[in-house]
Amino acid sequence: MNYNRKKEKRQILSFYLNTQLIKNIKKVVMKKIEIYTDGSSLGNPGPGGWCSVLRYKGHEKTISGGEELTTNNRMELKAVIEALKLLKEPCEIDLYADSTYVLKGISEWLENWKKKNFKNVKNVDLWQEFIEISKPHIINVNWVKGHSGHRENEICDKIAKEEAAKRKK
């Protein structure tokens, strides 16, 4: 093996180890936040609402909003984006949602969508906003069964529906 090839392999290994080290350091230093989200629409499309509950060291903050004409998936994703906008520094986030669209989008599909330049993907504007707003964070996704008595999911579901109802004409 020639010198340049060995040097290239050492550089790749060094980059990989540094990347892993940085991730581990971030986890130790970063605040750990829990975010619970839900979205709703009355009709698809129709008036919609979203809600997020953020928790840090026992303190909770609930935020919500909505749109006149939207879809359920847009509201599910909007809830995540709006919660992330409140964070003032990089955080490790445990994200809880009942939307497989959002959770699989984040954990499984997003990288491929980016490679394919979002061809045939809906809600590209929101996914691109998510990409930008999520960059400094480590996000761990967790699925919660909807309408199963999960406290935070029930709160988010109720408020998201109320937000959608406010916009019903």
- Adjacent-strand bridge partners of 70: 46
Provide the domain limits for residue 88: 31-166
Average pLDDT, the chain: 90
Does a structural domain hold residue 150?
Answer: yes
Instruction: Please confirm, yes or no, whether 157 is among the known catalytic residues.
Output: yes
Alpha helices in the chain (DSSP H): 3-29, 72-85, 100-104, 110-115, 124-134, 151-166
Count of the separate structural domains present in the chain: 1
**Amino acid occupying residue 116:** K
Distance CA 132, CA 122 (A): 17
Tell me if residue 39 is catalytic.
yes
| pLDDT value for 67 | 97
* Marked catalytic residue, from 67, 82, 152, 157: 157
Residues of the chain with pLDDT under 50: none
Domain-located, residue 3 = no
Set 48, 49, 67, 98: catalytic member: 98
Catalytic residue among 38, 67, 152, 163: 38
pLDDT of residue 150: 86
Residue 20 pLDDT: 63
Looking at residue 149, its pLDDT comes to 87
Let me know if 150 is a catalytic residue: no
For residue 94, indicate whether it is catalytic.
Answer: no
Contact of 67 with 79, CB cutoff 8 Å? no
* Catalytic residue flag (residue 98): yes
CATH number of the domain to which 114 belongs: 3.30.420.10
Distance CA 143, CA 88 (A): 25
Give catalytic status of residue 147 as yes or no: yes
Indicate the burial class of 26 (C-beta count within 10 angstroms; 0-12, 13-18, 19 or more): middle
pLDDT of residue 11: 72
pLDDT digits (tens, 9 = 90+) for 96-106: 999 999 999 99
Task: Please check whether residue 11 lies inside any domain of the structure.
Answer: no
Residue 26 placed within a domain: no
In a domain, 139, yes or no: yes
